[in-house]
Amino acid sequence: MRKLLTFFILSLFTAGCSSAGPPAWYLKGSHPRYQDEFYFVGMGSGGTFGEAQLAAAASIAKQIEVKVESRLEIAVESYAADDREIISSEVKSFSRAISERKLAGVQAAEQYVDNGTYYVLCVVDKDKFAEGLLQDIGQKAQSLNGILKDSGRLLNEGKIFPALRTMMQAVDISAEYHAGVNLYTSITGKNIPLSDITTGPEILSRARSILAKLTLIKVSGDDQYGKSGQLLPEPFTVKAVYKSDTGDKIPAPELALNLKDENNKILDSQLTDNNGLAEFWAYAIGQDKSKLIVTLNLKKTPPAFKKDLQNLQTTFRYNIMETAPITFSIRIYDKHDRRIETVEAEIAKSVEKCGHHIGENAPFRLTGKMNLVESHEIDGFDGKQFMAKTEVILFMEMADTGGKIGSVTITAKGLDKTSEKRAVEKSYQRLEISSRDMAKMLAEAEGRLKEYNEKQSKEALEMSKVLYGQGEYRKALFSLAKVNEGDENIREREKLFYMIKDELNKNTEIKTQD
C-alpha cells in the first residue's frame, strides 16, 4: 500500500514538472481548418501573446513580399537590358510596401501558451486579400493615367526635366500595377485585361524620343574677343528648345545647365528662364583661342536618362587679345576731301577681324587720305593690264579732341584690263589692317589708351554699383564687363562680380556638382 501511494505521488510530481510543448499546428506549420489554398498562414511565438502575434503577422508579410518580388521580377524582365538594373533598384521597395498595406486583414486564429511561451497562428483570407488587391490595382491604373497626362502637360510647357521625373513616377507605378495584376492572377486564377495600360518600357521609349528632340542652341557670345585675365565683354547665351510632335520649337524653361572649361571643370551653373535662355559670364583665360562648353547639369536627372543626355552640349569659342577691344569710327577721304565709303567698309572689316568694333559715336577715330602711289601698264598672260598701288596713312585720334595718338600705313595693289580707275577701285578692296599693324598702332597709343580706359572703367564700375543696388543684376554685369583698367577698379570689379553672381544664384537656386 505504501509503495502504491509513493508511486502515485511521484507520478503527480512528474506530470506537474513535464511540458506538453508547442501545439501540433505550430510544429507542422499548418492547420487543417486554414488550408493554403484559401489562406495565408503564419506562425509566431514569444514571451507574450502580443509578441507572438507580431511574429506570426511578419511571417505572412514575408510570404506576400516574396510573391510580390517574384511578380516584380517578371515585370522588370520586359525592360531592355540596360534599364533592368536601374528599374530593379527603383521598384525594390514596392514588394514590402504592398505586403504591409495588405496586412490590415490579418486575424489571430489560434492561441496557445505552454510553460511561459506563447504561440499564435495568424491568417489572411486570400479572397479578401485579392479583393483589396483589385481595388489597389484600379487605383494604380487611375493614378498612372493621371501622371501620364501631367507629363504631357509639362512637355507642352517645355518643362523637360519635370516631365521626365513625372514619367519615372509612371514607370514605378506601372511596375507596381503589373506586379499587382500578376499577383492577383496567381492567387485567384482570374485575368485582368491590360490593353489600356501603358507599360514601363513604353514609357521609357516615349521619354527617350523626347530627349532626342531636346537641343541647345548658341544665341550670342560665340567668337568674341577679350583681354586675357579680364571679364569677357558679353555673356555666352544659349537657348534650350524642345521640338514637339507637331514640329513646334518649344522653349525649355527651368533646365539646369553647366558651363565647363576645356578641362571639364564646372565654372558656372544656371537655370534656363521662361524663354529657354541662360547666360554665362566668364573670364578670358589662356592664349590666342579658347573654348567653353555648355552641358546639361545631370545632378537631378533620373538615372535611367543620364546616358541619353551626357552628350547633349554646345561649344563656344573666344579669342584672347593683349588689349581690351576698342570701338572706332572711320573717316577715309580722297584727294578732293570726299569720303570713300568703299574703303571705309574694307578697313572696318579688318578692324573687326582684329577683334575691335566699329561705331559712329566711338571714342576713337581712324582717319586718313587715300593716295595713288604708283600707276602704270604691265604685260600679263591676257595682254596689257593697268596696275595701281594706293596708300593711306591711318591716324588714330581721340574723337572728342582730334588729338592723334597713333598711326599705321597700309598699301594695296589692284589690276584691271580696262582702266586705271578700275585698277584703283580694285586696290581699295585689298586694303586691310593686319593684326601686327593694329598692335603697332595701339602700342603707340598705349599711354593715352590706359588713361582713357581707366577713366571709362571707373565710370562703368560706378554705374554697375548703381544697377546692383537697384536689383538690375543683368544690366550690372554688362556694365561691369567694361571695367578693364586700373588696379583698384579691377579689385572692386572682382568683389562686385561675385556679389552679383550670388544674387543670381539665389534666384535660380542652382547648385554646382563636382
Do residues 134 and 253 both lie within one domain?
Answer: no
State the Cα–Cα distance between residues 463 and 388, nearest whole angstrom. Answer: 51
d(Cα 308, Cα 158) in Å, to the nearest integer?
18
Q: In this structure, what DSSP letter does residue 482 have?
A: T
Q: What is the CATH number of the domain that holds 411?
A: 3.30.160.150
302 and 276 both lie in a single domain: yes
What's the pLDDT at 425?
92
- 271 shares its domain with 316: yes
Q: Is the pLDDT of residue 303 over 80?
A: no
**Of residues 10 and 188, more confidently modeled:** 188
pLDDT of residue 101: 56
Query: Is residue 184 within 8 Å of 68, Cβ to Cβ?
Result: no
Given 284, 305, 321, the domain boundary residue is 321
CB contact at 8 A, 222 and 316: yes
List, for residues 255-275, the tens digit of each pLDDT value.
Answer: 889 999 989 999 999 999 989
Q: What are the start-end ranges of the H helices in 189-275?
A: 200-211
- pLDDT, average across residues 171-197: 78
| Mean local confidence (pLDDT), 73-80 | 70
DSSP string covering 376-436: EEEEETTEEEEEEEEEEEEEEEETTT--EEEEEEEEEEEEESS-HHHHHHHHHTT----HH
87 — pLDDT class (breaks 50, 70, 90): low
* Same domain (yes/no): 28, 56: yes
Whether 473 and 412 share a structural domain: no
| 184 or 331, which is more confident | 331
pLDDT confidence tier of residue 514, bands split at 50, 70 and 90: very low
Same domain, 46 and 149: yes
In a domain, 77, yes or no: yes
Domain boundary among 212, 240, 270: 212
Do 28 and 121 lie in a common domain?
Answer: yes
pLDDT in tens, 138-165: 888 888 889 989 988 888 887 887 888 8
CATH of the domain at 303: 2.60.40.10
Domain at 84, CATH number: 3.10.28.20
Res. 465: pLDDT tops 80: yes
pLDDT tens digits along 475-488: 999 999 999 889 99
Same domain, 424 and 467: no
Q: What is the pLDDT of residues 319-346, one digit of tens each?
A: 998 888 899 999 999 989 999 999 999 9
Give 77 or 189, the one with higher predicted confidence: 189
The number of distinct structural domains making up the chain is 4
Q: Which domain holds residue 32?
A: 22-212
Residue 15 domain-assigned? no
Please give the pLDDT value at position 88: 58
Q: Does the CA dihedral 189-195-197-200 come out positive or negative?
A: positive
**Boundary-marking domain end, from 212, 234, 255:** 212
**Helices 81-91 and 160-188, packing angle to 10 deg:** 80
